[in-house]
Amino acid sequence: MQAFIIDRYGKKEVGRIGVGPEPEVLDNDVLVQIHAASVNVLDLKIKSGGFKLILPYDLPLILGNDVAGTVIGVGAGVRNFKIGDEVYARPDDYRIGTFAERIAINESSLALKPGNLSMVEASALPLVALTAWQTLVETANLKKGQKVLIQAGSGGVGTIAIQLAKHLGAFVAATTSTANVDWVAALGADVVIDYKKQDFSTVLRHYDVVLNSLGNDELKKSLQILKPGGHLISISGPPTPAFAAARGLAWPLQQVLRLLSFGIRHKAKKKGIQYTFVFMRADGEQLRQITPLVESGSIRPVVDKVFPLQETAEALAYVDSGRAKGKVVVRVR
């Protein structure tokens, strides 16, 4: 089958279209004919080797962490899906590979596609929607009337997190660039900070939650706007000892992550703020809870550009440029 493959780690690794192995379908797996797969920053980090200590893949590797498609086969133990079902998913960490014609996915990671979305639209949702859910609902337990800042409001995660937070009844602030201020406000943000003109840490105060997806400077500044008892949640690091232990990482690596996160954990503790690093996981049940919000219009995917499978390298480069508004999708069929 055709697939987009990387042969080595590195920021200069472009990747190639080649012939990938047919997926192995285990008893609890669903074989999916891929129609579309969206690009995530995670794909870039995997390609560059930035996550190879946490996610040590064998090379060559088929990239891709989001999928929408049609069921064309089921394992002997599958009970919830049948051939012909239209589905979407974020595959498990060690079974990625959606920039391809077919993939086998454990049925526990899969959900029926929202009925009001095309395959392209549906493929733009799983990873970012699960990230928003696992940070705002599962980790922050965000409540009606609370105040949340969402960094990078025009990005893949940001666009969905704004909509989810508004659905939960929160007061939402978001950061973005000048060109996207009105567009992010239209997504539902109550306050939009143009980071090119304003420093959010001098404007915002007494927030309950910050969702950080940017660098260390933004992480440290986030502590200034949170009230005591607030929660700083980062999806861009640094990872914590709790994360390392939960992933079962080797003891030396656990100590490295302990040192890397010591500064922000210490500063947060002094201010009475909780710091949590979240690395999203595949979860079909959570996708099934998200689907009604999509079908009701509370959450809508934002697709910037669509590239054919043969131009996956260009799609990755476009996301890497930082110009994308929402998601970039690779159309396979």
pLDDT at position 217: 94
Report the sign of the C-alpha dihedral through residues 47, 51, 53, 56, in that order: negative
DSSP string covering 121-160: HHHTSHHHHHHHIIIIIIIS---TT-EEEESSTTSHHHHH
Mean per-residue pLDDT over the chain, rounded: 96
Q: Tokens 């697709």: give the residue.
A: 303
Which residues make Cβ contacts (< 8 Å) with residue 114, sequence separation at least 6?
Answer: 88, 122, 125, 291, 294, 295
Q: What is the mean pLDDT of residues 309-331?
A: 96
* β-bridge mates for residue 16, sequence order: 5
The angle at the Cα of 152, spanning 296 to 263, to the nearest 5 degrees, equals 125
Q: What is the mean pLDDT of residues 144-165?
A: 97
Band (pLDDT 50/70/90 cuts) for residue 304 is very high
pLDDT at position 53: 83
For residue 228, is the peptide bond before it cis, meaning its omega torsion is within 30 degrees of 0?
Answer: no
pLDDT at position 98: 98
pLDDT at position 52: 87
The angle at the Cα of 4, spanning 3 to 7, to the nearest 5 degrees, equals 115
pLDDT at position 259: 94
- Nearest alpha-carbon partner for 160 in 59, 265, 40, 47: 40
Output the six-digit token pair for 104: 């086998």
Q: Contacts for 321-325 with beta carbons within 8 Å, 24 or more apart? A: 324/155, 324/156, 325/154, 325/159, 325/180, 325/183
Using the predicted structure, report yes or no on whether residue 51 has a pLDDT greater than 90: no
Strands 67-74, 2-6: pairing is unpaired
pLDDT at position 237: 86
pTM over 0.75: yes
Strands 102-106, 67-74: pairing is unpaired
Using CA atoms, how far apart are residues 3 and 117, in angstroms rounded to an integer?
A: 25
Q: What is the pLDDT of residues 85-98, one digit of tens each?
A: 999 999 999 999 99
DSSP string covering 208-230: EEEEE-S-HHHHHHHHHHEEEEE
Write phi, then psi, for 102 (nearest 5 degrees). Answer: -145, 155
Structural domains in the chain, sorted by start: 2-125+301-331 (3.90.180.10), 127-277 (3.40.50.720)
pLDDT at position 323: 87
- Nearest alpha-carbon partner for 278 in 328, 234, 248: 234
Q: What is the pLDDT of residues 11-20, one digit of tens each?
A: 899 999 999 9
Q: What is the pLDDT of residues 200-242, one digit of tens each?
A: 999 999 999 999 999 999 999 999 999 999 999 999 989 999 9
pLDDT at position 189: 98
